[in-house]
Chains A and B, each alone.
Chain A
Amino acid sequence: MDANKEEARKVFDEYKCKGVPHLLFVDNKGNEVDRIIGYLPPSEYLARIQDIRNNKYTLNDYLAQYENGNANAELIAGIAMKYEDRGDSDNAKEFYKILIKDYPDPTSEYYQRGTYFLASDAFKNGIPMALNAYIVSFPDSPFIEEAFYTMAYHFADKEMREDELKVYAQMLSHFPDNTGILNSYAWRMAEIEINLEDALVKVKRAVKLSEDDPNSQANIIDTEAEVLWKLKRFDAAIEAIERAIIIDGENQYFKDQKEKFIQSKKETGQPV
């Protein structure tokens, strides 16, 4: 069935889901059996569903194996990740601690994920240096970008503007050619209407760097247009969003953005 958004939101929050697409498998008592987060190729998707139906590679399956003495790094990390997916930080933390203590291999992605999780948890629980210490300690970790975003979003939520801007400065210094980070920074600056000229420089760089990926580029051009609009450069904003529309002519959001810019121009009394 297609439920209304309010019911969906309630269930989504009840099961501590984060991000979509998100498939949740529950039994008749509402107990979670497993979940699939994000997109999977069809063959992999079907295999995962069949495994869940057979209670294979689920949290209960992993816990049964662990209780039977079949502990290894992969299994313990698997349990921790299942708890993490469920938003059960306490149990995730417990198993990540076991993993780090019993299988201390800093080159292992499981180990890196565990240390990132613990640092992130410490940061969210009031140890401000925890994630910066993680970034310094594990400079080659695949979780560095996520660590920066965790800090930036946290400071944004708490309206700690100065700290948020410092994190973006660190991110941009660490990842100067990352189009996603350049775009996120520019969009955020447009939202809070700070550093707009710098945001424009950064987003134009992201547009140039994303030339080989038109779909991604269209979204970044939209950010460029939004920044220009905030700068009240309405003609430039309209020109930019038209470039995005040329790439993705079906995108209603881009068309709505164009209308927004035209309306703003009209309100200033300029001919359209």
Chain B
Amino acid sequence: MNTHQSKYYLLSVLLFMGCQSSSYNWYSGNFEEAKTVVGSKLILLDFYTET
């Protein structure tokens, strides 16, 4: 197996909350929709391997 290159990626989006004690709120729409509702918060896109 050649582990030097990754082959798969998936996308998760969460809206990054602004207060210290907050927890993550996972967003159930797509990236374009997330941009319209995020306001001054940040969007975190999480790409990771399938395996």
B11-38 residues with Cβ-Cβ distance < 8 A to A are 11-13, 16, 18, 26-31, 35-36, 38
Determine if A127 is an interface residue (Cβ-Cβ < 8 Å). Answer: no
Given contacts A149-B4, A180-B4, A223-B1, contact A20 B12 (CB under 8 A): no
Q: Which residues of B contact A188 (CB under 8 A)?
A: 2
Known contacts A1-B27, A1-B30, A9-B9, A20 near B45 by CB under 8 Å = no
Given A1-B28, A7-B30, A8-B9: A25 touches B44 (CB 8 Å cut-off)? yes
- Give 1 or 0 for each of A1-36: 1 = CB within 8 Å of chain B CB: 111010111011001010111111111111001000
Question: CB distance B10 to A8 under 8 Å?
Answer: yes
Among A24, A183, A187, contact of B44 (Cβ-Cβ < 8 Å): A24
Q: A222 interface residue, CB < 8 Å from B? A: yes
Whole-angstrom CA separation of A220 from B3 in the bound complex: 9
B31 CB contacts on chain A under 8 angstroms: 3, 7, 11
Known: A7-B30, A9-B9, A11-B31. A25 touches B3 (CB 8 A): no
B9 A5 Cβ-Cβ under 8 A: yes
A-side contacts of B49, CB under 8 Å: 20-21
Distance, CA A11 to CA B13, complexed state (A)? 11
A166 contact set on B, CB distance < 8 A: none
**Given A2-B10, A33-B42, 10 more pairs with CB closer than 8 A:** A8-B10, A11-B11, A20-B6, A22-B48, A23-B44, A25-B16, A25-B42, A26-B45, A27-B42, A183-B2
CB within 8 Å of B: which residues of A? 1-3, 5, 7-9, 11-12, 15, 17, 19-30, 33, 49, 52-53, 149, 180, 183-184, 187-188, 219-220, 222-223, 226, 253
